[in-house]
Structure 1
């Protein structure tokens, strides 16, 4: 259950340090590693003094008005983790908070910024919260997730597609399962997950009520919790916003054969990669040698090529609607898209706008899907590409 997480994470970190030293199982430890190992083993005997209540209720005779789950996340250069508490409010106004579970993981060998590690910790906290909400046989009314990272909170409040792939993929998972208002800021000094990312001695863990019952503010009314109207201040180097790569190609009427005509290729993957290579070439021609891009295509470049092809297709099949919406005007009643309440986003893509826009538990792209023409060759390639991926996934699962 992770109750001893702040203590056991020290052993995990120590094991990683041994692997970094390329030690075999029978090799003697260096003096610094041996000292850490001996210290950790010497503290094992103190764990017998730890007692964990089996019941989440503070008083069996009182009625509980509401149950809420509060999950705290944190990360450091050596480890990251998440710890969850169940907060129960009784009919007489009394509040109790109990530790439910925790999870710790050592940071990967590959160098990674603290901001990215904190984002990974946020995903870990999300998954832990979902598991607890599913397993506990109590009526949980609310789940709140706490982090001391301003960068993570800024990312969560943005659109996942605007960020680099590493951040975008994890923010997409967070946004698909939670709402923005569920994520709150907690000062580092009031974050119990800080003990998971750094580790503490067993003697301190035995009597650390901050770990077993959570921060003091959870015992207070919500108006006394950390201020939600905080200013999200981030470092410029940690923004991780995608660069504006997009290059649109327009075929002239007198062209005998447009080389990037979608009908000239058979797959969506081929079309987007050819488009991305040509875009990269055009950009490099406009840049100095020091600023040019070389090597394999980046995920951002491929995604921009996909968006560009979708925009060109929409402009071809819905020229009037696209032009009217681009000017900020209202569609005429004769338009075949009038029932979809279309709009153009900041990328220039035509989206459908319906009732799903209020379903904030869904991701942005699910709530406001992209409009594609039924008779377009691009649409057929996109559908075939998705079907092909589905078949490959089925084969992978089968094997």
Structure 2
């Protein structure tokens, strides 16, 4: 592979409150390495230290859920109790001395969650509309007696407050530089934006403006809590995961997300410019690569949003990374996010800068809970082995469970 050292990828850039020495970003990368009670572990600490060292760029954490009542994955992060926040503070305290910056992504599940998990936690199974993601989800909901229902207005006030509180805890107590709102991949916030999952008849459904309303209210609340320059949003306007319809939606993604992004740009022109928008590229659906006869051209986003852009999704492919070069070379405000190759190449920044080969990632090890296999077992370039005790050790909590 050829070196990218002379491209814009290795020019400094200011993103929100931080100045980065390069434009390679660890994109949000769910790995399920927390404890059973969702506390961050010493393995996670080492994972982020490895990627912060000799970097100077931006790391974005895996999605952390705001509160139990919007759902969570087993062994995934959450920013809800003092112990959970404290465990993440140990990670941010280690990333910053290594010269890198770190953002946290916060999210909810809604209809993408497990009805049984909601039931076991004593919470209703709720979403923007009572439209099940799959027949399997409906069957489980009926079996456990926790049928999917539409959020009430009171519910929405609570959900919004949960996002705002989680954002404030993330910055004020956990030490993150930026908070990224996960409005992509048909997770909770994205479910409001899409007609396939939002068929409400009140002020939060129906028209494009109404479907965008709740997410924009969350954005405004987080801006008020931590500042616009510490707030970011992730969207996937061509999503096909978890019920996303991409270009097959009744309303074109260009129209639907064009309105939403334009509203964010309007706020920016009024002095509230977000740190960045992260755009998931069309060739990625969740953690899978998709092949379609038609791959949409997403360059229209640059015509609407005039701030910092992070483009993420299958960009480290092709001889010399032509798509990556196209994006970083077409302007002076684009960063490139990587998830899969950042799992198998902790020194990814160094490899891209010098044109070194990339170690192929091992998909089957992405989500192996309470183990370091496929998590801390990828060596830096030039290294061939890792310590056997890493593989045999069990991740330990960074705070009391």
Please indicate the TM-score interval, normalised by the length of the shorter structure: under 0.3
Q: TM-score under structure 2 normalisation?
A: 0.22
With normalisation by structure 1, the TM-score equals 0.22
Which is bigger in relative contact order (C-alpha 8 A, separation at least 6)?
Answer: 2
Higher helix share: 1
